[in-house]
Amino acid sequence: MSAPSVTMPEADIRWSLPARGPAGMYCLIAAEAAIFTIFVVAYIFYIGKSVSGPQPHDVLRVPVFLTICLLSSSLTIHFAIKLLSKGRVISFALWWLLTVTLGAVFLAGTVREWRHLIHDEGLTIQTNLFGTTYYSLVGLHAFHVTVGLLALVTVLIFTLLGNVRREHTQRAEVLSMYWHFVDVVWVVVFIVVYVVGR
Amino acid sequence: MSTQSIAWAKTEVSRRPLVEKLHEWVTTVDHKRLGILYILYALLFLAFGGVEATIIRIQLIRPHNSFVSPQVFNRMFTMHGTTMIFFVAMPILFGFANYLIPLMIGARDMAFPRLNAFSFWMTAFGGFLLYFSFVGGDGLYGAGNAPDVGWFAYAPLTSQTFSRGHSTDFWILSLLVSGFGSIGTAINIIATILCMRCKGMTLGKMPLLAWLNLVMAGLVVLAVSPLTAAQLMLLVDRYLGGHFFDTQAGGSAVIWMHFFWIFGHPEVYVLVIPAFAFASEIIPVFSRKAIFGYPVMVAATICIGFIGMSVWAHHMFTVGMSSAANTFFVLSTMAIAVPTGIKIFNWLATMWGGQIDFKTPMLFCAAFLFQFLVAGLTGVMMSAAPFDWQLGNSYFVVAHFHYVILGGIFFTLFAAFYYWFPKMSGRMYNETLGKLHFWLFLIGFHLTFDFMHIPGILGMPRRIYTYEPGRGWDIWNLIVTVGVFFQAAGVLVFIGNLLWSYWRGKVAGSDPWDAWTLEWSTPSPPPTYNFATIPEVKSRRPLWDLKHPEDPDWQYE
């Protein structure tokens, strides 16, 4: 209709643009990374500045097992996506379920850790600067794990209802990008909280 | 071109009930409607912010005035600043970006239409929360009803101890919620520009408006998020008893300043880069020349984006930082004048030798060029830390940033209103009223903000409720306040012009300015789907190619 017919006869341009799903997810990850950066900076800035105890080295235990769980869930989700792209939906569902389980184990571990800190050690978000920064940073990450888990479970339910097929690979992949991001953030949180800060 | 805007205009014969129309607007995911919603919403808040500014200025018109109480005065400057930045400037710019970008890059909608609607309603809800504080802010304490902590809300003023009641909570929540909206829109803009361009529109052939909004959206993603983080920390402090900004428990008040200005300074560029975008579209059309130095304009914008992220602490010279930090932020702040200067020269070079047509949009752009230059010069003055130690937190600073925001950003915004009004409404605005608006606003602006520099140099601090007579400030404050009424009259003429033209203006046709970008190839207003056939472009000025097949642009680019 009103579109200008600017096409010139001699040149037919090849035209391909990036997919919008991953582009949007990369932007969201950039925004989230900026949020986490501020929390990490605050954590590092306040290391050792608490005027009263308990201090990190008194109460924190390094969560090696949980870290292994969360990081390996990045691998399992990667395999799941690979399988879906080949159309093997049942294997996809199994690997996806494994991912959800690993994420849930991580969250349960965080719950246990917090219970120990609050109940046994008496460290709450009000106790001192360490408590404030620790629960904020680890809590913000745990919140992101929770959101990711809810999304993963939604996909799992759709899969069990038989609504996930090969053509949905890209959408599942966009979600997996978020999950990978949450894992990478954990690496940073782990180093800052349990290695440097302790 | 213009003969083709047919058919759909006359199809809606039967009038639909008002409720149905409103329902359509509330549930819309169309980028054009959301753009208009953003703009109308921002104009509403412009009225609120304008009234607050007027109250501030009436209070300061003479020494020992008591037009309002000191408490109300504090609320007014806090609400004025917060409203104007978050609920006027940003939504208006997002509105124009929403409306124009898909049309300019030959797309049928934004990349994520529902996210778009979500973002708008989040922003709208944020503004509602802020103003709801007038009703619900005093909580159980009988404390003040609206936020009164200043728009940058320095700690420890925001702690429970010093901000009783809920006014500060409303301030935090409204910025948090509207921040989610801003980030959503920014993500949408980036994805749209990267993924939705029509065939042939490489990044190097995009209209400058799209390029500049891409950089703006990148800045929003990276700069508004830190504000979100800082607001979350403040919530933890206020509600959960945390100690982030609690100096008695070892926390730091200065780190709030850093976190706020890591957002706050890039925010200036978030606002001014779309203003540059309007100037870069309007000046060429009214000079009848292609933009001068397109690649340099893009490079300068990206430069501004990068340097803009690393200048924040120039807001904190008076706080007392190490000399190394001072030096870094002095130099980076001065460096940002270079790409900005390049842009001003490019606009001048675009006008140079052109057939300049001083229609209202061009008048506003010409005033913008001069005023933005002055604003930049006072900016370079204050980038020098010793100068800032003398004049920091004085009315000189207030004059400087109002010169940027009003003299720079709002003048181009008005230009954009007049330039794209025919496209959005299908009607021409009234040129006489437009020029009247321009001159009233220009006179008012210069009365207010030229003379506001002087009490600043004479030592008048910002945010004071009143002042002693005989310090040499009286006459200047009087002039400054008089200017406000000229500006208010100008804005009233502007609103009147929009309303009158919407119903009574003469029909604009699809391309009233003989312009060159794709939005002018659609009917005015464009149909829901924008383009019946997705266009294909070969140069930066596709409509020039179409109108001048004997001498198309793509032969030279």
CB A50 within 8 A of CB A129: yes
B165 falls in which pLDDT band (50, 70, 90)? confident
CATH (domain of B92): 1.20.210.10
Res A189 pLDDT > 90: yes
Is B499 exposed, middle or buried (CB count within 10 Å of its CB: 0-12, 13-18, 19+)?
exposed
Q: Does domain A61-196 have CATH number 3.40.50.1820?
A: no
Is B4 a member of any domain? no
Q: Are B537 and A6 an interchain contact pair (Cβ–Cβ within 8 Å)?
A: yes
Subunit contact B535:A3, Cβ cutoff 8 A: yes
pLDDT for the residue B424: 96
Average predicted confidence (pLDDT) for chain B: 93
Mean pLDDT, residues B131-149? 80
Domain that holds residue B102: 29-555
Backbone angles phi, psi at B394, to 5 degrees: -105, 175
Is residue B248 included in any domain, yes or no?
A: yes
Structural contact between residues B201 and B101, judged by C-beta atoms closer than 8 angstroms: no
State residue B139's pLDDT score: 67
Is the pLDDT at A64 greater than 50? The verdict is: yes
Q: Which chain B residue has its CA at the smallest distance from A4's CA? A: B535
Provide the pLDDT for residue A14.
78
Residue A97, pLDDT score: 97
Strand partners, B507: B427
d(CA B216, CA B311): 16
Residues in a beta bridge with B199: B536
**Residue B273 confidence (pLDDT) above 70:** yes
- Give me the DSSP letters along B224-250: HHHHHHHHHHHHHHHHH---TT-GGGT
Would the CB atoms of A24 and B191 count as touching at under 8 Å? Answer: yes
The answer to whether A121 and A57 are in contact (CB under 8 A) is no
Judge whether B233 lies within some domain. yes
Q: What is the mean pLDDT of residues B155-166?
A: 89
Q: Is residue B3 part of a domain?
A: no
Q: Which of A18, A49, A136 sits opposite B194 (nearest CB)?
A: A18
Average of per-residue pLDDT across B65-72: 94
Confidence of residue A12 (pLDDT cuts 50, 70, 90): low
DSSP state at residue B83: I
What HEC string does chain A produce? CCCCECCCCCCCCCCCCCCHHHHHHHHHHHHHHHHHHHHHHHHHHCCCCCCCCCCHHHHCCCCHHHHHHHHHHHHHHHHHHHHHHCCCHHHHHHHHHHHHHHHHHHHHHHHHHHHHHHHHCCCCCCCCHHHHHHHHHHHHHHHHHHHHHHHHHHHHHHHHCCCCCHHHHHHHHHHHHHHHHHHHHHHHHHHHHHHHCC
Whether the predicted pLDDT of A17 surpasses 90: yes
Residues 6+ apart with CB under 8 A from B115: A24, B184, B187, B188
C-beta atoms of A34 and B252 within 8 A: no
Instruction: Report whether B484 contacts B54 (CB < 8 A).
Output: yes
Shortest distance, CA A141 to any CA of chain B (angstroms): 13
Q: What is the pLDDT of residues B234-260, one digit of tens each?
A: 999 999 999 999 999 999 999 999 999
How close does chain A come to B50, measured CA to CA in Å? 32
Query: Which secondary-structure segment (H or E) carries B34?
Result: helix B31-59
Q: Which of residues 7-46 of A touch B (CB under 8 A)?
A: 7-8, 11, 13, 15, 17-20, 23-24, 27-28, 30-32, 34-39, 42, 45-46
Name the pTM for this structure.
0.94
Task: Centre a 10 Å sphere on the Cβ of residue A180 and count the other Cβ atoms it contains.
Answer: 16
Distance between CA atoms of residues B359 and B431, nearest Å: 7
Residue B123 has pLDDT above 80, yes or no: yes
Chain B residues whose CB is inside 8 A of the A32 CB are 225
Ranges of each domain in chain A: 61-196
Classify residue B92: in a domain, yes or no. Answer: yes
Rg of chain B (C-alpha set): 24
Question: Given this model, what pLDDT does residue B557 score?
Answer: 78
Q: Which residue has the higher pLDDT, B457 or B320?
A: B457
Q: Which of A100-104, B33-37, B390-394, B444-448 has the lowest mean pLDDT?
A: B390-394
A3 with B510: Cβ contact below 8 A: no
A5, pLDDT greater than 50: no
What number is the average pLDDT over the span A39-56?
94
Total of domains in chain B: 1
Share of chain B above pLDDT 90, in %: 90
Find the angle CA(B59)-CA(B63)-CA(B69) to the nearest 5 degrees: 40
Query: Does the pLDDT of residue B479 top 70, yes or no?
Result: yes
In this model, does residue B6 exceed pLDDT 60?
no
For residue B516, give the nearest of B543, B537, B550 by alpha carbon: B543
Residue A7's pLDDT is 47
A3 close contact with B: CB closer than 8 A? yes
Mean pLDDT of B252-273: 96
- Output the pLDDT for position B141: 64
The average pLDDT across A20-33 equals 96
pLDDT band of residue A10 (cuts 50, 70, 90) is very low
Measured between beta carbons, the chain A residues lying within 8 angstroms of B532 are 1-3
pLDDT of B5 higher than 90: no
Average pLDDT of A73-102?
Answer: 96
Q: Which residues in B lie closer than 8 A to residue A36 (C-beta atoms)? A: 229
State how far the Cα of A76 lies from the Cα of A92, in Å rounded to an integer.
10
- Average pLDDT on B264-281 reads 96
CB proximity under 8 Å: B 97-116 to A: 106, 111-112, 115
* Sign of the alpha-carbon dihedral angle for A15, A18, A24, A27: negative
Residues B166-224 pLDDT 10s: 899 999 999 999 999 999 999 999 999 999 999 999 999 999 999 999 999 999 999 99
Residue B284 domain-assigned (yes or no)? yes
Q: For position A145, what pLDDT does the model report?
A: 97
Residue-level pLDDT at A181: 98
For residue B230, list chain A residues with Cβ-Cβ distance below 8 A. 38
Query: How much is the average pLDDT of B51-71?
Result: 95
In whole angstroms, give the CA distance from residue B179 to residue A3.
Answer: 37
pLDDT at A101 over 80: yes
Report the pLDDT value the prediction gives residue B135, as an integer from 0 to 100: 85
- Contact list in A for residue B233 (CB cut-off 8 A) is 38-39, 42, 136
pLDDT range class, residue A13, cuts 50, 70, 90: low
Q: Which H or E run includes B264?
A: helix B253-287
List the single residue in B with minimal CA-CA distance to A125: B242
Is pLDDT at B350 greater than 50 in this prediction? yes
The Cα B353–Cα B557 span in angstroms is 20
Instruction: Using DSSP, state whether B427 is helix, strand or coil.
Output: strand
Q: Is residue B175 part of a domain?
A: yes
Please say if the pLDDT value at position A6 is more than 50: no
Contact A61, B260 (CB under 8 A): no
Give bridge partners of residue B385 from the DSSP assignment.
Answer: none
**Cα–Cα distance, B449 to B405 (Å, whole number):** 11
Asked if pLDDT for residue A198 goes beyond 90, the answer is no
* pLDDT above 70: residue B328: yes
Which of helix, strand or coil describes residue B200? coil
- B500-513 confidence digits (pLDDT tens): 999 999 999 999 99
What is the average per-residue pLDDT within B446-455?
96
The pLDDT of residue B16 is 82
Least confident piece of the model among A130-139, B124-133, B159-168, B494-503: B159-168
